[in-house]
A and B are shown apart, each in its own frame.
Chain A
Amino acid sequence: MTEFKDINEFLAEAEEIISELSNTLSKLSEGINAGRVDPDTLNSIFRSAHTLKGISGMFGFAEMATLTHKMEDILDSVRMGRLPTNHDIVNIMFEAVDLINEMIVAKGKGEEVGHDKVDAIIARLNRIGESPSSLSVVSTYSDEDTDIDKGILGVLTEYEEHRLQQNMKAGNTIFLAGVEFSIAAFDEGLVELTDFLKSVGEVIATLPSTGDSKDTLHFDILFGTQKDAAYIEEMLKGRNLTVRRVRGLSVPVPQAESAGDITDSQLSLEARTEETTLRSMSNTVRVDIRRLDNIMNTVGELSQLKASISQIADRLRIEMGSKGIAVELSKIDKNLEKRLKELQDNMIEVRMVPVNQLFDKLMRVIRKLSREIGKEVELITSGGDTELDKLIIEDLADPLMHIIRNAIDHGIETPAEREKAGKARAGAIVLKAYQKGNHVAIEVEDDGAGMNMEVIRKKAVDGMFVDEAASHALSKQEVLEFIFLPGFSTKKEVSEVSGRGVGMDVVKKNISRISGAIDIDTEQGTGTRIVLTLPITLAIIQALIITAGARKYAIPSGSVLEILNIRQDDIKTMERKEVVYLRDRTIPVLRLEQFFYRGTAARREGEMYGVVVGLAESLLCILVDSIVEQQDIVIKSLGKLLKVTGIAGATDIGDMGTFLVVDVAGIVTAATRGASKRAA
């Protein structure tokens, strides 16, 4: 017998719904602020609560079912206009969602959340539900008000009827659009049309019916808009559809030529549609990331085996010349390389998730925090669809949370302080993600009080991080570097929020562990911006294999900006440090063997190479003896006990043996502290 109930399935879906809910609730909240409540958002919130109620009921989670049932009731009243849409509702829904999240986490561990907590919120929801509404109950719909076919009206759900009525009440023009698509490919065309209609109004209902031929489907789309009829008719011109204005004022629109956009896309869609023979149309699987790691490791080992094969192929070609079996092996080797690359790319793609997954979680925390400490904070996110490796996203959660906690706790001022400073009462935190070459940048910017350089400097002197005299010569960036040092904190009293013993030093360490870099910029009175620069994936990376001081190292190619041919006399000395000039910049030089072995590097004559690496704003030129090749490598951790600055881990490549992988972020930070200056 198959298991009727699978708790993991429940947990996974519930978590997804919670994430969706916090997203849509935030959207609703923004809508309320802007005075424009989007009915689709409201309805989607209702549906989330509805589904949660359904699944918790079926799993026999009575408490969660009661709670979500209450939420559903209230949300139903709100979407049907029986209760007002306001911040009170949004806030209690957020609290309820937080609580459900706690309950789900507890369920995952086989625990329970205190009943009092659940009862308390149910009681509050009950009060909202019972409060005599100032809004009049919506009168029942009368068929006489409209000239929409009874056949169509008969299919509308109660909610759709309500939306139709609201549109009519608002004086919107109601259109009924008829469109025909091939059965095989209707969804893309329909989604495109629906998205367009949503951009100019509200889609009230989409009704499928049998098309003119057996291969087509007909759709009647009922939509309401504030735009005037002529505009809509103009916009829809050229599309293969009929539009009728309804509600007794029918103005037929002449049917346009059938050579419009939809017909075009329809043709191309039909061409690539395949016969549907699959048993299931739902083709999503949930996989534990560790399984992907295992596959990824195997792929990594495969590419190392492949490297050995390449070497044999090369040797064979040298020994035999380009003939017979040597050529055949080379061909197979090339083919294998191509397939392996595909396999890797696909594997990496599978691991990618949008950073929105993280942003949603952070949004919940921000709401909760700002409520707790009585600050008003508005969160603005952008670039949420930027993708990152799932594991990086996981490892990013804590550091990012800490940065945001700091921003709310120390950065954003109280509403009163803000008003005094001539700022808006509510502070803003902007969370932004975007791709930057081979990296993804995540920015957290607040418009709070910023950091006081003088306080940091004094604190650094007091803590003996630097002596008084030298401290005055430090640049702003150099002063800011202190906050990343262990045991450095500037807020005197430990607040409940950030006082968890985790400082920026730990944030920096965690970010470096995933080969990321952290940059900070602050302006007193204006705010602080922290930028995290992260690799897209850690699973398999391309690396440059180099030799330095008779040892081989791997440098991740993602951080390599360019490779220079360097002679000894290209290297200048500036402030007792070696530098090279590249275009208008002065770049500090690092000799790898010297960095790791602290010895005096032999001054070499003749040709050398400079590998210019950069992360965020800092550049560094690593001097190496030779460039061996470019390789795909899998970084293996050296273990928790062995931590060396500048080393990300080890890798082994076929018969070349095992060698160290340079941690570019770590080495750049270590080497450029106090060295990077713009050339005059």
Chain B
Amino acid sequence: MSSKILVVEDSPTTRAMIISAIEEVAGGLEIFESKNGFEALKLLPHHSFDLIITDINMPDINGLELVSFVKRNQAYRHIPLIIITTEGSERDREKGLSLGANEYLVKPFNPEMLQNVVKKYIKKG
């Protein structure tokens, strides 16, 4: 069975790059994309995701709010969550980890590194 991954990122270019990087991961992935926290919240109940990759700095509902939502919800808290942010937001990153995010990557990310992290979590699932 293929793994379902949700990518939450407001920049279309960045989103496309994240997706094309993780598409390289073998084993059949089904990738879903949301351009903000709103859309992510809507997708969550409809799919059982195996991994969520999210940006922090987004309008309306930001990455931290999404992490907090996922990790406090019985139905979703098991889903591994990776934060991808730019350098300079260390405090927010720390907060993300303390809210339950499993890992973080710093932009500009290295596609291979992202692939490795993805492999690590979808195997577990």
Chain A positions within 8 Å of B, measured between CB atoms, are: 1-6, 9-10, 13, 44, 47, 50-51, 53-55, 57-58, 60, 65, 72-73, 76, 154-158, 183-184, 186-187, 190, 194, 205-210, 214-215, 217, 275-277, 279-282, 284
Contact = CB atoms under 8 A, between A and B. Distances in A.
Contacts of A208: 37, 41, 61, 65-66, 69
Interface in B75-125: 75, 86, 88-89, 91-92, 95, 98-99, 107-109, 111
Nearest to B89: A158
Contacts of B75: 210, 214
B16 A206 contact: no
* A-B interface, 8 closest residue pairs, ranked by CB to CB distance from nearest: A57-B108, A58-B108, A281-B39, A155-B68, A208-B69, A13-B13, A55-B13, A210-B73
Interface in B1-47: 10-17, 20-21, 23-24, 30-35, 37-39, 41-43, 45-46
Given A209-B72, A210-B73, A277-B46, A157 B37 contact: no
Contacts of B31: 279
19 contacts: A1-B24, A13-B12, A58-B14, A58-B108, A72-B88, A73-B88, A155-B65, A157-B89, A183-B41, A206-B65, A208-B37, A208-B66, A208-B69, A209-B72, A210-B73, A277-B46, A281-B33, A282-B15, A282-B35
Contact of A13 (B11, B88, B109): B11
Contact of B64 (A9, A76, A157): A157
A57 B68 CA distance: 28
B68 A281 contact: no
Contacts of A194: 60
A660 to B, nearest CB: 45
Interface residues of chain A: helix, strand, loop or mixed (majority) = mixed
Nearest to A51: B11
A281 B57 contact: no
Contact of B65 (A13, A207, A281): A207
A51 B84 CA distance: 13
A208 B44 CA distance: 13
B106 to A, nearest CB: 10
Given A50-B57, A208-B69, A217-B41, A157 B62 contact: yes
A4 B41 contact: no
Contacts of A57: 86, 107-108
B52 interface: no
Interface of B: 10-17, 20-21, 23-24, 30-35, 37-39, 41-43, 45-46, 56-57, 59-62, 64-66, 68-69, 72-75, 86, 88-89, 91-92, 95, 98-99, 107-109, 111
B114 to A, nearest CB: 11
Contact of B20 (A3, A51, A157): A3
B86 to A, nearest CB: 5
Interface centre among B13, B41, B99, by most chain A C-beta atoms within 10 angstroms, is: B13
Given A155-B99, A158-B92, A54 B73 contact: no
Contacts of A214: 45, 75
Given A154-B99, A183-B45, A208-B61, A54 B72 contact: no
A284 B35 CA distance: 11
Nearest to B60: A206
Contact of A210 (B30, B72, B99): B72
A50 B89 CA distance: 11
Contact of A4 (B14, B20, B35, B107): B20
B35 A53 contact: no
Given A58-B108, A281-B34, A281-B39, A50 B21 contact: no
Contacts of A47: 57, 59
Nearest to B10: A51
Nearest to A273: B42
A276 B43 contact: yes
A184 to B, nearest CB: 7
Nearest to A276: B46
Contacts of B37: 208
Given A58-B107, A183-B41, A281 B99 contact: no
Contacts of A4: 17, 20-21, 111
Contacts of A55: 11, 13-14
Contacts of A76: 88
Given A51-B14, A279-B32, 16 more contacts: A4-B20, A9-B16, A54-B11, A55-B11, A60-B108, A154-B98, A157-B92, A183-B42, A186-B42, A208-B65, A210-B69, A210-B75, A214-B45, A277-B46, A281-B32, A282-B15
Contacts of A73: 88
Contacts of B64: 155-157
A282 B12 contact: yes
A73 B89 CA distance: 11
A164 to B, nearest CB: 14
Contacts of A187: 38, 42
